[in-house]
Structure 1
Amino acid sequence: MKIVDYELFQVPPRWLFLKLETADGLIGWGEPIVEGRAATVRTAVDEVMDSYLLGKDPHRIEEHWQAMYRGCFYRGGPVLMSAIAGIDQALWDLKGRAFGAPVYELLGGKTRDKIRVYQWIGGDRTDEVGTEAEQLCDVGYTALKMDAANQMRHLEPPAVVDEVVSRVEHVRETVGPSIDVVVDFRGRISKSLAKRIAPKLEPFDIAFIEEPVLPENLEYLPTLASQTTVPLATGERLYSRWDFKPLFERGGVDVVQPDVSHAGGISEMVRIANMAEAHDVAVAPNCPLGPIALAASLQVSATVPNLLFQDHGFDIYPAPKSAADNYLDDASVFEFMDGYLDLLDEPGLGIGIDEEAVRERSQRNLNWHNQVWRQEDGSIAEW
């Protein structure tokens, strides 16, 4: 068996799909993407595929991962690791289909029968986040995530800090004590401001604070951890086990959040989860992406023992048609009930892609990029 062809499809709203094909007609799908840098990652996938993977046996996944990573002098980073991630997903999809088994079986088998999931609530006003939180609880979620704030200066007056606290307090009062609430700082808050805000959130028993500091400033995480009882999480902007290594060595982290489309794919995400287990750290995979990425992430979540819960980025409960439904043969494969998703038991990643719909939608003119946020004085703020 050899890989003889591949195609890339940039599709709405901001996703990039990869299709691998073997000489005997077997198809595998992956989702290599950096949000807002789809064209850049596309070029990286082209380089890897054309210079190395075409003509190779797709079953030798570990060898290919090592070659893609170690076969160049400059390694790591979001672009290269996201390209590798999507290719790795597609290779696992191919292998699962070839053996007639879901990927989690090839990874050692399931450690659970269903996967707890959580979703993000938007809204800038306190009443908006409360309403959205209530809506998620009403359809069955037992965990949710909210933003702490929008752009923040390095230090803010008490009124701004109180506003953050009041938003969290309102959500906690709305959903009650049986729901896990994650508060996402998104790295928008400085270490100086984080140490003021984090202790004020302790009375609300939140599940954890996500990205309390920027990935560039993770050396301050142990200090922050010593100043609050709130668990701390990070990792969606770390891209390999080597990025996570100093995080585990320094301590201070309670939950890691690798993204299967950024952190080297299924192969690397399993290794990161295993490293986390050895350090008594839970895993809550990040996945605000499309259906292929979610399927790949769920295959990992089905097998790693230290899973806390799984993020997802599009509607999976009974609701108006989501963007992901446009690309699936059967959108009901993401079976949601009482805060959990069923395992994907079909071969490979466990989903069927509507290739005709992917081709049609890839013809649209897409140019999604992050906004550039500015402070009141015109300086650049964290997005």
Structure 2
Amino acid sequence: MRITDAKVIVTCPGRNFVTLKIVTEDGVSGVGDATLNGRELAVASYLTEHVAPALIGRDAARIEDTWQYLYKGAYWRRGPVTMSAIAAVDTALWDIKGKVAGLPVYQLLGGRSREGVTVYGHANADTVDDVLVEVARYADLGYKAVRVQTGVPGLDTTYGVSGDKLFYEPADAAIASEATWSTEAYLNSVPGVFARVREEFGPGLKLLHDVHHRLTPIEAARLGKSLEPHALTWIEDPVPAELQEGFRLIRQHTTTPIAVGEVFNTIWDCEQLVREQLIDYIRATVVHAGGITHLRRIFDLAGLYHVRTGSHGATDLSPVCMAAALHLDIAVPNFGLQEYMRHTPETDAVFPHGYRFEDGYLHPSEEPGLGVDIDEELAAQYPYRPAALPVNRLLDGTMHSW
């Protein structure tokens, strides 16, 4: 079952996506997501110039060998561009293997460990009163878990707060826009927000919050401690994860669970955090962590240390990635939560898929393979549009983590 074609498709049905489509000599095709938000063309070029030519003639059934070939054979290992490209190949090959076997991919991963995948939505608004309305909307839709983000008094913009409440997209301009940040104002406002939300919705709804790498370890410890009365399921990305020892300090001061990993690319990015039990949820995702093959390794390591999964699932991950994530989520024993930001109708039309949302759960497709495809003719009607993620500065103009 030799590979005869590997095509890179870039499309923008509301936001940019990069998709790899692999075709075999038997006419079986598979798709993989290669989207890297704000750097899409870097991955598209890596695939087109370096990866796709090397795939022609290879046996599509040899998923592990192909993964090792692309990882070890490149010499320049790791990094978001390389690992997103490898992920696209790996995901497409799993799609092909499922179609050849006549089974959904999760059956090839060991079958179901649960009936549905618990997902969380994003409730956001400028004010606390308005965010209560948004949390209620998600609760009415059946969500059992909600991430809560609000504006910070004194700041013009705040990460996670958007005009469109269902389709948040932070890449907002061809050249990166600039936001301002005050840690003091943020730390003073967040505990009051969650006090109001918990008072309104009681103990049954899972609540989450994304810090987006903006604090130092001692600041994150203060935040976690202040949120303990409100029993959050997690605080996400409390500090930049390059200095992993910093998580020890957070652990010493708070029992609020910690989730991290949406920017991680390999098992080596999280090995220390997992092994020392410094986190509770690992948020690595299929497209940025080397595909189904490598993400399964990360999840298996996490399971040994009581760390559960909480994969990234923002709108910059296409329905191809979401479909792949659901097959892994439904199969692994240490699943925790899956982020689910809905795609626009235009995106759903370009990527027809069989997964579905019902009563707070996503269910993977039962079709052979991943159960998702790309409509190439429709995709061609949405050409690439330059879009960059914002950057962040403190009030005095110092660059700060966005």
**TM-score, scaled relative to structure 1:** 0.92
- Cα distance change of structure 1 residues 165 and 322 upon mapping to structure 2, 3 Å threshold: farther
Q: 1:75 is matched with which residue?
A: 77
Return the offset for 1:193: 1.7
- Which amino acid counterpart does residue 350 of structure 2 have in structure 1? Y
**Farther off after superposition, 230-239 or 40-49:** 40-49
8 Å Cα contact 1:48/1:68 also seen in 2:
no
- In structure 1, the residue corresponding to 2:222 is in which secondary structure? helix
Q: What is the rounded CA distance, in whole Å, between the counterparts of 1:223 and 1:375 in structure 2?
A: 24
Name the CA distance, whole Å, in 2 between partners of 1:313 and 1:14.
15
The match for 1:357 among 368, 371, 378 is 378
State the match for 2:19 in structure 1: 17
1:57 Cα deviation from its structure 2 partner: 0.8
Following the alignment from structure 1 to structure 2, what is the Cα–Cα distance between the partners of residues 100 and 73? 36
The CA distance in 2 between the partners of 1:381 and 1:298, in whole Å, is 34
Name structure 2 gaps, 5 residues minimum: 153-157, 160-178
Deviation at 1:370, TM superposition (A): 0.5
* 1:367 is aligned to 2:395: no
Q: Does 1:239 align with 2:265?
A: yes
Q: Which amino acid aligns with 1:200?
A: S
What is the alpha-carbon distance in structure 2 between the residues aligned to residue 303 and residue 322 of structure 1?
28
The Cα of 1:154 is off from its aligned counterpart by 9.3
Pair 1:325-2:348 in alignment: yes
Hey, what's the Cα distance between the residues in 1 that align with 2:372 and 2:52? 27
Matched, 1:297 2:325: yes
Q: Distance in 2 between matches of 1:17 and 1:231?
A: 34
Q: Distance in 1 between matches of 2:388 and 2:229?
A: 37
Partner of 1:138: 140
Residues 47 and 279 (structure 1 numbering): CA distance in 2 closer, same or farther, change over 3 Å? Answer: farther
Give the structure with the higher percent helix. Answer: 1
Alignment of 1:192-341 (within 5 A): 192-288=218-314, 289-314=317-342, 322-329=345-352, 333-341=354-362
Aligned residues: 373
TM-score, with normalisation over the residues of structure 2? 0.88
Whole-angstrom distance in 1 between the partners of 2:52 and 2:140: 49
Query: Cα offset for 1:51?
Result: 4.7
- Match of 1:278, as an amino acid? L
In structure 2, what is the Cα distance between the partners aligned to 1:252 and 1:131? 34
Percent sequence identity is 34
Which structure exhibits the higher relative contact order, with contacts defined as CA atoms closer than 8 Å and separated by 6 or more residues?
2
Deviations 1:252-295, CA, capped at 9 Å, x for gaps: 11111111110001011111110011111111111212100100
Quick check: 2:211–2:238 contact (8 Å CA) kept in 1?
Answer: yes
1:125 is matched with: 127
**Alignment CA distance shift 1:351-1:73 (3 Å):** closer
Q: CA deviation at 1:153?
A: 8.8
CA displacement, residues 235-264 of structure 1 (integer Å, 9 cap, x when unaligned): 111111122212223321111111111000
**Aligned residue in 1 for 2:34:** 32
For residues 172 and 40 of structure 1, the distance between their equivalents in structure 2, rounded to whole angstroms, comes to 43
- 1:86 Cα shift? 1.1
Alpha-carbon separation, structure 1, partners of 2:339 and 2:182: 30
Conservation of the 8 A alpha-carbon contact between 1:327 and 1:357: yes
Q: Secondary structure at the match of 1:117?
A: strand
C-alpha RMSD of matched pairs (Å)? 2.0
Report if the CA contact (8 A) 1:328-1:351 is conserved. yes
